[in-house]
Amino acid sequence: MWGGRFAEGPSAIMREINASIPFDKALWREDIRASKAHVAMLGAQGIVTADDAATISGGLDQIAAEYERDGVPVDWDLEDIHMTVEARLTELVGPVAGRLHTARSRNDQVATDFRLWVRAANARALVGLGALRNALVERAGEHAETIMPGFTHLQTAQPVTLGHHLMAYYEMLTRDAARFAAAQERLDECPLGSAALAGTGFPIDREATAQALDFAAPTRNSLDAVSDRDFALDYLMAASQCAIHLSRLAEELILWASQPFGFASLPDSLSTGSSIMPQKRNPDAAELVRGHSGRIIGACTSLMITMKGLPLAYSKDMQDDKPPLFEAAGLFDLCLAAMTGMIAETTFKPERMRAAAQAGHATATDLADWLVREADIPFREAHHITGEAVKLADSKACSLEELALADLQAIDARIDDQVFKALSIDASVASRASYGGTAPDQVKLRVAEARRALGQETNTEL
């Protein structure tokens, strides 16, 4: 393949370190599609004859059928998917196969193939995110009024609704979807025709190949086109940030499904048992989503480090761009599917959530707010008074709501019996009616907005 420049073939070590066919065979569909677009353009431009173009295109179709049926053969001497396809094409159609590489280099060839692959990965991510966001919105609508404890520092803070909690993840994933959509828009340029690095002297039509491959336009700089892997990093960065969100959600499901919490029961289909403890019901799918997030982030770091020191244009280091992305994309697709199943099928336990929300003095802020609002006490003083009330409730092993009026008035005489209207968890949640708050009416509004954004029907009673 290297032609007349070298007197000897590669050593066994060079052969092994140089070959990428074990992993880049995944690009065979993209490689054949881009080659068909390229040879069609060569024929249309008169760079190769119409007969030769038709012969090459027919041979590529035959190779595609073979690979679809039998898989891609792995011959390390052929190095990569590009030479593997070309070698088979030569076997099928003879020397005319050599005309396919006119006005093209493996540099722009792989850049085009890889963009096509990543474009499909972005599209899958957007579909998967849509399914998970739909599941979150559906469950949030069901639980717009289900009260649970809200936490800071994993300590009971204030009561919230489960619907509000789930919609927080909807917001995170909506930002993730926007990142993938932006990555898709930036990717939408075709490198084919940039050749090795400087373009080509043949009268090619780059607009035609870009259009044939459904790109918006050809790339504008041949040096950048063959050396750019921003599109791969865009995918990995978006996947990494989303994986962090999925990991946080998985961690919460793991906690909620544990016996001390008891807020949820994960579906049997996404749980496992123990080989020795028959009572166990392990949240393995959620734990693997949490674990896979580290591998996805690691893939992103790997490619960033590969790219950080490379001068223009192409360097062989860039062959290492595919394994981390292929791995990350496979894991990410699986994580989205697993999390969608968990959200859709988890059984939540409203009674246990409500009981937990009533513990830990979750309405302490409501007492302080009542003192500010009704007794005209500065908030810092109200905070101190409330702290005294919490200490008293702890000593009596009761909730703030269960303290006697006389006990509260002993702390501050300005407290009257109207305070008890503010101390229930229902009153607390209902009072948080500011835009974006946890009050059920606010949650229902956000769910309705989300359903419109997702194209769901919005006339369903929430």
d(CA 208, CA 36): 12
Q: Is the peptide bond before 313 cis (omega within 30 degrees of 0)?
A: yes
DSSP per-residue letters across 42-79: HHHTTSS-HHHHHHHHHHHHHHHHHHHHH-----GGG-
Phi, psi of 266 (to 5 degrees): -75, 155
What is the token pair recorded at 8?
A: 């000897």
Residue 242's CB: how many other CB atoms inside 10 A? 26
For residue 193, the 8-state DSSP code is T
Q: Give CA–CA dist 226/314, Å, rounded.
A: 6
Helix (H) or strand (E) holding 232, with range, is helix 230-257
Environment class of 152 (CB within 10 Å of its CB; exposed 0-12, middle 13-18, buried 19+)? exposed
Alpha carbons within 13 angstroms on the beta-carbon side of residue 325 total 29
Phi/psi of residue 207, each to 5°? -60, -40
In angstroms, rounded to a whole number, what is the distance separating the alpha carbons of residues 343 and 137?
Answer: 10
Give the DSSP letter string of 196-228.
TTT--SS---HHHHHHHTT-SEE-S-HHHHHH-
Question: Any idea which residues carry the catalytic annotation?
Answer: 153, 274
Chain length of the chain? 462
Q: For residue 282, what are the β-bridge partners?
A: 272
Helix axes 81-93, 106-142, angle to 10 degrees: 120
Give me the residues paired with residue 155 across strands.
Answer: 152
